[in-house]
Structure 1
Amino acid sequence: MPEVPERMTHVLRRRNDPVVVQTFRSTVAAVLAYVAALRLTSDPAPLLAPLTALLVVQVTLYATLTNGMRRVVSVVAGVLIAVAFSELVGLTWWSLGLLILASLVLGRVLRVEEYVPEVAISGMLVLGVTHVTETAYVRVAETVIGAVVGTVLNLVLAPPVFVQPASAAIEDLAGRMHRLLTDISCRTAQVNRQEAVGWLHEARRLDQDIVRIDGELSRAEESTRLNPRVRQGELARLVLRSGLDTLEICAVVLRTLCRSLADLAIEREGEEGGVYPDEVAAPLCELLNDVARAVDGFGRLITAQVSASAERAEEELAQALLDGRAARERIARLLVEEMRRRPDRWQLQGALLANIDRLLDELDVERRSQMLAESLDRYQERRRERRQQPQALWHRIRGA
């Protein structure tokens, strides 16, 4: 009995999984499209309708609408070309070649994306039958039925919004960077070459996570478009996208920071003591801890802006940045003395300070607010331009 709640929790957690959502909706849409095509067409086995529904139904409503429109346009274009060829030349080897060429070119012109081959396929299937007009009607009708059923299903059963999984993934990325910085700060005094190279490899692996999270964020952005369950989808999209862009820059800087520490550790290999003497290692440890707190606070701030109040997260981030800048000034003075003792290492010391400065600047609260304001302004400007395009076109037509 104790295992039942645990299993139920796992099922509920998997309910909004993209694979589960896609499988369930595709199955239901295909069955409904088949039933509708049986009633609305004369074909005894209208399998093209469920096939279209399978291709059209996507995880998000926006993707379903765009896929439905592209598939219908591609099929209609292919059928029209086939009807024209059947009336003019019929089916020969050279007319088939011309049909395929014209269909592919027309598909590119119509911008049906992945459905470009569908234009040629529809044309060939219609051209190769005896009753061209009847086959053309049936093919278009079944395609439209499948596309309409798939679209209506996603309108009636609104797809889930994937903003929360994307925000959780971004927060997890910030958590990994926080743990890496914390680990570095704890071992600054006695780090060896193997540990420093391990940090560098861990920083490089962050790039793979960023690519994966970028895909999740793109799906989340798509799930907010035309979704009746989302009211401020554009704001959430801007918050998450700008946050991921900032963390991506921080990951690059962190990789460079780890490279500097690895070079310092390699130079010190075989010598007694750590990379830095104790009077420098302790303040550097404090500085890296403050930067780690700032990165973690930044990740929580992004999530808070999406889900709840962000005041507390913003205050914690601002305090961590304030402490980090104060610690940075202290360590800068100590590193000046260190460079006087070891002038051959001034480039590595300067790179270390420059990377920490860049991290603190990228995580700055005011900088982020300014970036969000600029992103919102650009979005509003694009919306105004889209609204003015039909009016400008109408004015040009009237002028002509």
Structure 2
Amino acid sequence: MTKVTEAIARQWEGLSQLPAAVARTGRELAQPESRTRTTAIQISKATAAAIVAWYIAGELLGSEAAWLAPVTAVLMVHSTGYRSLAEGMKRVVAVAAGVVLAAAVGNLLGLSALGLLLVVPLSLLGARLRWIGAQGEYIAITAVLLLTFGVATDQNFLLAYVTDTLLGAATGALINLFVFPPAYQRSTRAAISDLATHTAEVLRDIAAGARSDWDHDEADRWHRRANRLDDEARAAQTALAWNREGLRYNPWRRRDDRPSEHYQPAVDTLWHIAIEVRSLTRTLRDNLPGDGERELRDEVPPLVDDLAPLLESAAEVVDTFGDDPVVTDGRLSEPVRASLGRAEELFHDMAQRLPQAGSQAPEAYAAGGSTLELVGRILSFLRTLDHDDQPADSDDQR
């Protein structure tokens, strides 16, 4: 009885969470280019493509192989319009090659198992062609199916097989291309923003640690977090690739849709910055003064007084750049330029004061010098994106 009661309680708990789940899904559906909304649109398009393809092939044309049209149409509703066109063409070529191979072997050896000795090896060799990619497997599938079903010598069925595949591929590709084709603009911006935000958080945590007690374990936690930035950098590159493909042959591009070239410098720069942050955390972990348990502040107070604000300023630059990562006409946005200018002032000031701390604690001086160098590289990566030599407030002066 207890087990029954527990099962009922679990079911009731699941049902009680259903309204919240429905509301959450509704909010996600309302967000442009959210994953939930994109998935729902793709499912709807695949369903529509299957219905249209079946109606044309089965009802209008009365094809013998009408079932192939909706099957192919569903499979051709890919993540982007370009991919649907490219994969659809390859699918038709693969099916046509399988049909020709099955017809040739069927007429030569008849509809017997002996024909498989020729069909299988030849079709699998054709499927290995690099240019046809994953669709190459349909050479073998088509040839084997037609031969074993005993229709490899039926010219009308073979023609219908190719025709319905072409019809399904065209239906799926056209619906995917002209009905809400995804451009992945928001996905790209979100990935860039996440990478910048989490990079800045690591820098701020290091700055907070420099002002308080921190030891080898804390530095090791910073380093592990910095290592995870690599995964986010790869996610940003993936989002950028989807953005690039999503805009190819996209007939519904908006004026504010930016090609991947506008985001590529930001992704590359943030990836380099993530590498530098990882090096920074490794330097701090491996170069703590003494036994690694003493505070850096106890060693060189002036060094920490400069280091923490510098790290916070660098974090602000990265954060601001993540909010506005597009470089227009070789010029960073004004908020990014202003933030970068403040960070560079702190950097140059610390570079002048750092040698004074060298005689007080050489080990801490080495750690501070390495940190300063790495932060300098972070700032230089962003500065190289700004090819405009005008001062940041030049617009105000005009």
Q: Quick check: TM above 0.5? A: yes
- Structure 2 vs 1, CA of residues 295 and 9 (structure 1 numbering), >3 Å: closer, same or farther? same
Identify which range, 201-210 or 349-358, moves more after superposition. Answer: 349-358
* Bigger Cα displacement from structure 2, 207-216 vs 267-276: 267-276
2:50 is the counterpart of 1:30: yes
Q: Distance in 1 between matches of 2:263 and 2:230?
A: 17
1:242, 1:75 → 2: CA distance?
41
Give the match for residue 268 of structure 2.
245
SS of residue matched to 2:82: helix
Alignment of 1:1-400 (within 5 A): 8-13=26-31, 16-17=34-35, 18-43=38-63, 46-93=66-113, 95-109=115-129, 111-128=131-148, 129=151, 131-190=153-212, 191-230=214-253, 236-265=259-288, 267-271=290-294, 274=297, 276-302=299-325, 314-344=333-363, 347-364=366-383, 367-369=384-386
Between the two proteins, the alignment pairs up a number of residues equal to 365
Query: How many angstroms does 1:41 deviate by?
Result: 4.2
Secondary structure of residue in 2 paired with 1:363: helix
Look up the match of 2:6: none
1:281 deviates by: 0.8
Cα deviation digits, residues 267-289 of structure 1 (max 9, x gap): 45343664752211111112112
TM-score between both structures, scaled by the size of structure 2: 0.81
Distance in 2 (alpha carbons) for counterparts of 1:143 and 1:273: 70
- TM-fit CA distance, 1:263: 2.0
Q: Partner letter of residue 280 of structure 1?
A: L
The percentage of aligned residue pairs carrying the same residue is 28
Counterpart residue type for residue 298 of structure 1? F
Deviation per residue, 1:121-161 (Å, 9 max, x gap): 11112223364313311211210111111122124314132
Deviations 1:21-76 (A, max 9, x none): 22111111112111111034444672211110111111211111111111111101
Farther-moved stretch of structure 1 (26-35 vs 321-330): 321-330
How far apart, CA to CA, are the structure 1 residues paired with 2:232 and 2:289? 28
Contact 1:126/1:135, CA 8 A, preserved across alignment: no
Task: Return closer, same or farther for 1:8/1:138 CA change in 2, 3 Å cut-off.
Answer: same
> What SS is found at the alignment partner of 1:112?
helix
> Distance in 1 between the 2:367 and 2:380 partners?
20
- Letter of the 1:263 partner, please give it: D
With over 3 angstroms needed to count, the CA separation of the structure-2 counterparts of 1:206 and 1:267, relative to structure 1, is farther
Return the letter of the residue paired with 2:71. L
Is there any run of 5+ residues in structure 2 with no aligned partner, and where? Answer: 1-20, 389-398
Secondary structure at the aligned position of 2:358 is classed as helix
**Which residue number corresponds to residue 386 of structure 1?**
none
User: Matched residues in 1 for 2:364 and 2:306: separation?
Assistant: 19
Deviation at 1:226? Answer: 0.5
CA contact (8 A) 1:158 1:227 kept: no
Query: What TM-score does the superposition give when structure 1 sets the normalisation length?
Result: 0.81
Cα pair distance change 1:272/1:70, threshold 3 Å: closer
Residues 1:125 and 1:319: Cα distance change in structure 2 (over 3 Å): same
Q: Distance in 2 between matches of 1:4 and 1:49?
A: 34
* 1:348 to 1:66, Cα distance in 2 relative to 1, 3 A: same
Match of 2:396 in 1: none
What is the alpha-carbon distance in structure 2 between the residues aligned to residue 275 and residue 240 of structure 1? Answer: 44
Measure the CA separation in 2 of the matches of 1:273 and 1:345: 7
Decide whether the 8 Å contact of 2:210 with 2:296 is kept in 1.
Answer: no
Give secondary structure in 2 for the equivalent of 1:281.
helix
Superposed displacement of residue 266, structure 1: 6.9
1:143 aligned partner, one-letter code: T
Is the partner of 2:183 in helix, strand or coil?
coil
Mapped partners of 2:77, 2:240: distance in 1: 20
Given that 1:253 and 1:359 are in contact with CA atoms closer than 8 Å, whether structure 2 keeps it comes out as: yes
Query: In the aligned structure 2, how far is the partner of 1:5 from the partner of 1:41?
Result: 44
Structure 1 residues 72, 275: CA separation in 2 closer, same or farther (over 3 Å shift)? farther
**Residues 80 and 182, structure 2, Cα contact 8 Å, conserved in 1:** yes
- C-alpha deviations, 1:250-309, integer Å up to 9, x for none? 00100110111122347453436647522111111121122111111221221686xxxx
Other structure's SS at 2:325 match: helix
Amino acid at match of 2:53: A
CA RMSD of aligned residues (A): 3.2
Mapped partners of 2:61, 2:128: distance in 1: 30
Q: Is the 8 A contact 2:296 2:304 kept in 1?
A: no
- Contact kept? 2:197, 2:319, Cα under 8 Å: yes
Q: What do residues 340-397 of structure 1 show as CA deviations (whole Å, max 9, x unaligned)?
A: 3333566544432221121011111xx22569xxxxxxxxxxxxxxxxxxxxxxxxxx
| C-alpha contact 1:70 1:112 (8 A) present in aligned 2 | yes
Residues 1:42 and 1:8: Cα distance change in structure 2 (over 3 Å): closer
| One-letter amino acid of the counterpart of residue 170, structure 2 | V
Higher helix share: 1
